[in-house]
């Protein structure tokens, strides 16, 4: 099934994300986590694509398994920054052969020391055009409520986002955010700019505060004071932090659904118990 059909239904959608292992040693444990999350029957599941394509075989295998054995719609991430056109063509053929119909098309982070001019793909919209010309896929893209870290300003960022959508992007998934007002403000700005595609809100339940502070510093995601207080109080107690992180994420999701955002994607980080707790917390809201 196409993700666009799922997220435009009247019923709210809740999806989860898994990431592939870096080495074969942890492949089985990632597959086991994927299966456990799939048993929750989420609206769909996304599988990330390692920077530079290093883990692309695992990503493909996990996405194929989701569809063929676990009967959950997969959204395969695909990044182009380290690829050439022949490699992208190869990836698209393999995705199609495995019955995968949905791609989140990304540029990826430019490797340190690499000149952008030396790359075959410079921006995600070029990949999106390529996938659209290939045909048959529902294409999503990434968006940044607090602007992409490379952007000179949010006005330019939204302008480039519009170009990306016009290239063939049918829906957008947001970078994580911890203050819903930032998302509501972003929604207003993109709709004003004429971007009309559905937006899936990306929510990260924080269970590891050290990791999240590092990610937020790189991505430019703001940590509200209310959230920082929680980390200050519970950050050294893993069980309490996990409970607080799930409660915070749940509150964000309830507020998003109540304010007209109909699709939420949880960055579940290969943690089935976190995914399950969030889903249980909102089971009646999801109509289950
Ligand atoms: P783009 O949309 O190309 O934007 C990159 C920058 O270029 C932005 O600053 C934008 O304003 C600017 N820009 C865009 N178009 C133009 C233009 N025409 N002219 C000038 N400037 C332009 N990375 C991975 O490696 N694997 C993953 O699986 C992965 N999944 C992700 C999922 C989500 C939901 C998100 C939000 C990010 C994900 N990333 C992933 C990270 C992503 O690859 C990086 O943030 C990357 O730096 C930008 O990718 P993009 O597709 O948003 O790029």
Residues 274, 42: contact at Cβ < 8 Å?
no
Tens digit of each residue's pLDDT (9 = 90 or more) over 63-89: 999 999 999 999 999 999 999 999 999
212: in domain: yes
288: in domain: no
For 202, the domain range is 3-281
Q: Is residue 142 lining ligand 1, measured as CB closer than 6 Å? A: yes
Nearest CA to ligand 1 atom 42: 108
**Which pLDDT score, from 0 to 100, does residue 113 have?**
85
245: in domain: yes
Q: Is residue 77 lining ligand 1, measured as CB closer than 6 Å? A: yes
Pocket mutation for ligand 1, best pick of 45, 51, 105, 108 (most atoms within 8 Å of C-beta): 108
Tens digit of each residue's pLDDT (9 = 90 or more) over 38-67: 999 999 999 999 987 889 999 999 999 999
Tens digit of each residue's pLDDT (9 = 90 or more) over 7-20: 999 999 999 999 99
287: in domain: no
Nearest CA to ligand 1 atom 47: 109
Domain CATH number, residue 224: 3.20.20.220
Q: How far is CA 17 from CA 59, 149, 160, 274, in A?
A: 12, 22, 26, 12
Strand pairing category for 263-266 and 102-106 = unpaired
286: in domain: no
14: in domain: yes
Q: Please count the structural domains in the chain.
A: 1
- pLDDT class of 218 with cuts at 50, 70, 90: confident
Please give the distance, rounded to the nearest whole angstrom, from the Cα atom of residue 236 to the centre of ligand 1: 33
């Amino acid at each position: 099934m196409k993700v666009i059909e799922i997220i435009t239904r009247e019923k709210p959608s809740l999806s989860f994300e898994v990431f592939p292992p870096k080495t074969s040693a942890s492949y089985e444990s990632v597959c086991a986590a994927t299966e456990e999350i799939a048993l929750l029957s989420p609206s769909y599941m996304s599988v990330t694509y390692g920077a530079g394509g290093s883990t692309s075989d695992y990503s493909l295998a996990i996405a194929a398994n989701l569809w063929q054995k676990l009967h959950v719609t997969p959204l395969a991430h695909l990044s182009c920054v380290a690829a050439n056109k022949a490699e992208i063509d190869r990836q698209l053929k393999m995705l199609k052969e495995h019955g995968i119909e949905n791609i989140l098309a990304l540029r990826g982070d430019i490797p340190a020391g690499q000149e952008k001019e030396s790359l075959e793909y410079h921006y995600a919209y070029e990949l999106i055009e390529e996938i659209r010309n290939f045909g048959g896929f529902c294409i999503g893209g990434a968006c940044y409520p607090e602007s992409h870290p490379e952007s000179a300003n949010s006005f330019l960022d939204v302008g480039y986002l519009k170009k990306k959508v016009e290239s063939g992007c049918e829906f957008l998934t947001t970078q994580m955010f911890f203050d819903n007002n930032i998302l509501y403000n972003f929604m207003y700005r993109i709709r004003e700019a004429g971007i009309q595609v559905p937006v899936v809100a990306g929510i990260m339940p924080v269970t590891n505060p050290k990791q999240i502070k590092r990610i937020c510093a790189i991505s430019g995601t703001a940590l509200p004071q209310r959230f920082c207080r929680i980390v200050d109080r519970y950050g050294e107690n893993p069980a309490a932090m996990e409970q607080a992180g799930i409660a915070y994420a749940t509150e964000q999701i309830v507020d998003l659904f109540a304010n007209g955002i109909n699709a939420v994607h949880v960055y579940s980080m290969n943690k089935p118990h976190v995914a399950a707790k969030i889903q249980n917390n909102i089971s009646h809201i999801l109509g289950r």
